[in-house]
Structure 1
Amino acid sequence: MTETIGRSCSPVEALRSAPEEDRVADFRAKLRAAGQEWTGNEPDELVELLTKAAAGDPRLAAIVQAGGTLLQDFLDRCQQKSAPDVSRDLAGHLADGRPLPADVLEGLTPRYLIAVARLADPGREAPALRAAAGEDTLMTHRDGNVVLFVPVPGPGTGPCTGDRLVARLAQCLDGRGWLATAERDRARLVDGFDEASYVLRLVVAGLRPSGAYTISDVLVEYAVTLNERVRTDLAAVIRPLRAHKVLWETLTAYVDSDYSKNKAARSLFIHRSTLDYRLRRIGDVTGCDPTSGRGAQTLTAAMIAEALQR
């Protein structure tokens, strides 16, 4: 008795000092069974399960009650820490496909237009893009691009739907950037973001004019470059041309002019005969004649594939 005066016992020591030492093992077995029932979501449920496991033993029940309060506080804090803070960047959460609380998901519009824009002057054009999209639009940035999630009104709820909405956004480009869009239900927003992002990469790599694009505008490029093996083989076709700066610039101007020799020659400030000579050299280096329909398509796809690998 004198050995315990002025000395507090830990909960485990209190259990072990009891006459029935096997109740510790029995209690641990009950805890394991309780652990199988707990879903891992609600701290209150865990404390309730522990209390049931200690039923019939006042000393165990007292320990569980004391420790349960501390455990509940600890688990509550863990859940707060792990819960996504969507208030700062909801659009970023949607683009990344992160899990969202049920109440946040339910608050989303049923359908969105996802727009990914490469802007010439983001500081000036991004606010204009946001204003054109509407006040309920969610905006973020990914890989140097502006990303918008624009609520799509239901039928009969407003004039700014579909093509009109895209046209309004495209006006903000000021003829110097690109916009890729896709529409998706709120359950598939990350899929729409991935599609629009890839379309934008194809448009930029393919030297398309400034404007708004969807997957329907790049179906061939999308289908060809989506296969990694095909993309690698195409890049290998065009890569030798990288060693010839003048020829690379010539092909770029030729593609950019929509395969018009006159326009390409003017943009390069060279004579038409000089352009013809360079195009023949491009055919010698790559094995594809850029003046033929098939050769031009192959070289264009090869340029896109090479750009995607960089």
Structure 2
Amino acid sequence: MIETAGRSLFPGETDCSTPEEARVADFRAKVRAAGRQWTGNEPDELVELLTRAAAGDPKLAAIVRAGGRLLQDFLDGYQQKATTDASRDLAGDLADGRPLPADVFAGLAPRYLIAAVRLAEPGGREEDALCSVSGQDTLLTHRDGNVVLFIPAGGPGSGERSVKRLTECLGGRSWLATAERDRAQLVDGFNEASYVLKLVMAGLRPSGAYTMSDVLVEYAVTLNERVRTELASMIRPLRAHKVLWETLTAFVDADYSRNKAARTMFIHRSTLDYRLRRIEDVTGCDPTSGRGVQMLTAAMIAEALQG
């Protein structure tokens, strides 16, 4: 601080030779004093404090308000940039439908194959292998215990080739559901692939690759909430009979083959037949009839989705 003609000058400040300069210098001194006292962290609070420092001087108060708006605009822009920089999970943003900056969106491929994968044995090695066969521009994230891949789709047939590579990589040990969409509809594609995978798992389908066309009946049945609720309530009493539930699960898993289900459960065929009759007593649906087994399978899926 420098002493000049009886007043103190801050470093970088020159002596004021006019009343206007003296007025500005006095206000700057008040601003510095306010800065030493301020303990807040919001621009609005700072503007209010500085406005009080400019009390009695409309011109200075107007400058403070204008400067405050500029400061807020600057901080808003900085915050948006910081948020964008911090969000490194681009695939997660696409899956959740979060808005992307224009330059990031423009950098996406025109079309993607969206793959939802339920690994039989979750682990980093399996994920690394999936990324390796799907290409270096593939985006990866995780949702609901599944690996989600956004794989750029090239010309005709590229999606099928990607599915083939993924299926071969999984070696028949895991479940894969896919959908294909343009970059403007990626969240819709993610929702479709995820729901297909959910139906596949709930329906006890064998491991492999699936699309919407493989679960059209299940999709149509479970999409209606009222139907889904009725189906779940119909089969829920079977949950109280552990052996019967396990029998129905094995029967469905055996693709409705009684011989195969009996072998899987290590029981006699007659024992299986008896349990299937008991399942009909509890649910009202005959699992040995085409209509009954379709109803029970749909009910199992509905009950699993509600769980």
TM-score by length of 2: 0.79
Provide Cα deviations, 1:211-232, integer angstroms capped at 9, x if missing partner: 1100000000001001110000
* 2:159–2:180 contact (8 Å) kept in structure 1: no
Aligned residue for 1:10?
53
Aligned residue for 1:293?
290
Deviation at 1:109, TM superposition (A): 0.6
Find 1:249's aligned residue among 233, 238, 246. Answer: 246
Structure 1, unaligned runs of 5 or more:
16-59
Provide Cα deviations, 1:234-266, integer angstroms capped at 9, x if missing partner: 001110100110100000000001000110000
1:140 alignment partner AA = T
Aligned residue for 1:122?
122
Aligned residue for 1:51?
none
Output the CA distance in 1 between the equivalents of 2:288 and 2:198: 25
Aligned residue for 2:93?
93
* 1:173–1:210 contact (8 Å) kept in structure 2: no
Provide Cα deviations, 1:260-295, integer angstroms capped at 9, x if missing partner: 011000000001111110101101110000000000
Aligned residue for 1:81?
79
Output the CA distance in 2 between the equivalents of 1:250 and 1:206: 14
Aligned residue for 1:32?
none
Deviation at 1:77, TM superposition (A): 1.7
Aligned residue for 1:111?
111
Q: Does 1:264 align with 2:261?
A: yes
Deviation at 1:170, TM superposition (A): 1.5
User: After the TM superposition, which of the residue ranges 134-143 and 116-125 deviates more from structure 2?
Assistant: 116-125
Deviation at 1:79, TM superposition (A): 2.6
Aligned residue for 1:143?
144
Output the CA distance in 2 between the equivalents of 1:153 and 1:186: 13
* 1:177–1:211 contact (8 Å) kept in structure 2: yes
Deviation at 1:120, TM superposition (A): 1.8
Aligned residue for 2:9?
none
Output the CA distance in 1 between the equivalents of 2:131 and 2:55: 61
Deviation at 1:174, TM superposition (A): 2.8
Find 2:236's aligned residue among 223, 236, 239. Answer: 239
Output the CA distance in 2 between the equivalents of 1:80 and 1:285: 63
* 1:115–1:182 contact (8 Å) kept in structure 2: yes
Aligned residue for 1:187?
184
Structure 2, unaligned runs of 5 or more:
1-22, 31-51
2:84 alignment partner AA = D
* 2:114–2:178 contact (8 Å) kept in structure 1: yes
For residue 172 of structure 1, give the secondary structure of its aligned residue in structure 2. Answer: helix
1:97 alignment partner AA = G
1:217 alignment partner AA = D
Aligned residue for 2:133?
132
Aligned residue for 2:225?
228
CA RMSD of aligned residues (A): 2.2
Aligned length: 259
2:79 alignment partner AA = K
Output the CA distance in 2 between the equivalents of 1:248 and 1:93: 39
Output the CA distance in 2 between the equivalents of 1:98 and 1:200: 22
* 2:112–2:152 contact (8 Å) kept in structure 1: yes
Output the CA distance in 1 between the equivalents of 2:258 and 2:173: 24
* 2:114–2:179 contact (8 Å) kept in structure 1: yes
Output the CA distance in 2 between the equivalents of 1:169 and 1:260: 30
